[in-house]
Amino acid sequence: MINYPNGLTYHPNNDKNNSLFQGKSPKKFSYQNRGMTLETMINASIDYYRHTNRAIIHKKPTPIQIVHVDYPKRSAATITEAYFKQSSTTDYNGIYRGFYLDFEAKETTQTTRFPLSNFHSHQIKHMRQCHDQHGIIFVLVYFSTLRNIYLLEASHLFKYWDDQVITGKKSIPLSYFKKHGIPIHISYSPQIPFLDAVDQLIQSV
Amino acid sequence: MINYPNGLTYHPNNDKNNSLFQGKSPKKFSYQNRGMTLETMINASIDYYRHTNRAIIHKKPTPIQIVHVDYPKRSAATITEAYFKQSSTTDYNGIYRGFYLDFEAKETTQTTRFPLSNFHSHQIKHMRQCHDQHGIIFVLVYFSTLRNIYLLEASHLFKYWDDQVITGKKSIPLSYFKKHGIPIHISYSPQIPFLDAVDQLIQSV
């Protein structure tokens, strides 16, 4: 595996993954690409942290409902029918300084607020359960238009999530992130140095 | 979701997963079934622990290399070509009493020893990295013929793994599990009460 100096992995053009985009409309392709930006940066960052032994964090594989598998002789089993499933957990978890970390990464093009519709109730439930077990639980929110990233500790998210049925507020204002979140500046090696923000979180507890 | 009193999930006969076994030879079916026994029991046990808020542990989804996806209009995206990938981590991780837990479950029909070939080097590397970060790392080994289960703390596994190039020993003797492992008795609610063994492990540190 070859890495760029910024920690991103170099993928040669014959990467099998590219066939994912074959046959997609340009619109779909561009949407996928935009959605992957934060994910790509975070994946490169956790790879960097893992290679430098600072933290062991992995992205969980996408859960897939397998319906049919072919077992051809003399070659690998081929999945011929399967569907994407909704995950019952967050995308990322791992260990850092002996602490259990669990987080979700979300991106919005909004410039004044972060819509709660980015989460589904399973994810919130999972984060709450891990929070009750004294894990370090948070969300990384990327305001992509502003190029701003904040780490927001999960209890803030729970408050807004629970209150939305009472207040009718379906989003968290940017001003709330400015006041209660920890800003993360996009950098090199790693691109998203979120563990520095986690260090602040640990100190503040 | 309906659960049996022993914590196992009831799956109605029209479960989509059943189609997985269509077209398999009886030998393959029986092998798969045998292999799933420990996994089924552990999955039911972590569900039980999660529902009772004792620990939040999830099995990671099987990583799958997606090669082709169809996007039919008016229906869900269908994966039409995909392959199973080797995982770079263990199958299970989570949080318990504030500790990061990470473990792998393995089954053997052997009655005197546990072959190290049950692991691949990526799994050992991952367990070692998590161990260095002060996680609670272990393996649950099921000697299915004997109906014996042991929890073995990972440092014992690392010792045998590293020594095999020197000693030529490709397995861990059952007697070693008897001396250094913690026995787990198959039970009800949960079937595999491995957290009691983890409590012992935490106390002994």
DSSP per residue, B154-170: HHHHHHHHHHHHHH---
Residue A110 burial (C-beta neighbours within 10 Å; 0-12, 13-18, 19+): middle
Is the confidence at residue B107, as pLDDT, over 70? yes
pLDDT surpassing 70 at residue B98: yes
Indicate the pTM of the whole model: 0.81
> Higher-confidence residue: B102 or B18?
B102
Length of chain B: 205
pLDDT over threshold 50, residue B185: yes
* DSSP conformation letters of B39-95: HHHHHHHHHHHHHTTS-EEEEPPPPEEEEEEE--TTS--EEEEEEE---SS-SEEEE
At residue B44 the predicted structure's pLDDT band, cuts being 50, 70 and 90, is: very high
Give A28-39 pLDDT, tens digit per residue.
444 433 444 899
Longest dimension (CA), chain B: 61
Q: Cβ of B62 under 8 Å from any chain A Cβ?
A: yes
pLDDT band at B200 (very low <50, low <70, confident <90, very high): very high
Separation between Cα atoms, residue B69 and residue B65, nearest integer Å: 11
Q: Extract the residue ranges of chain A whose pLDDT is less than 50.
A: 12-36
- Ordered alpha helix ranges (H), A97-204: 121-132, 154-167, 174-180, 194-204
**Chain B partners of A80 at a C-beta cutoff of 8 Å?**
80-81
Q: What distance in Å separates the CA atoms of residue A12 and residue B180, rounded to the nearest whole number?
A: 47
- The residue behind tokens 């008795």 is B185
If you average pLDDT over every residue of chain B, what do you get? 87
Touching B: A residues 96-135, CB under 8 Å: 96-100, 102, 126, 129-130, 132-135
B175 C-beta neighbours (distance < 10 Å), count: 10
Q: Kindly tell me if the per-residue pLDDT of B30 is higher than 60.
A: no
Question: Do B63 and A61 count as a contact with CB atoms less than 8 A apart?
Answer: yes
Q: How much is the pLDDT for A9?
A: 55
Surface of A (34-53) touching B: CB under 8 A: 50, 53
Confirm if A105 and A93 have CB atoms less than 8 A apart. Answer: no
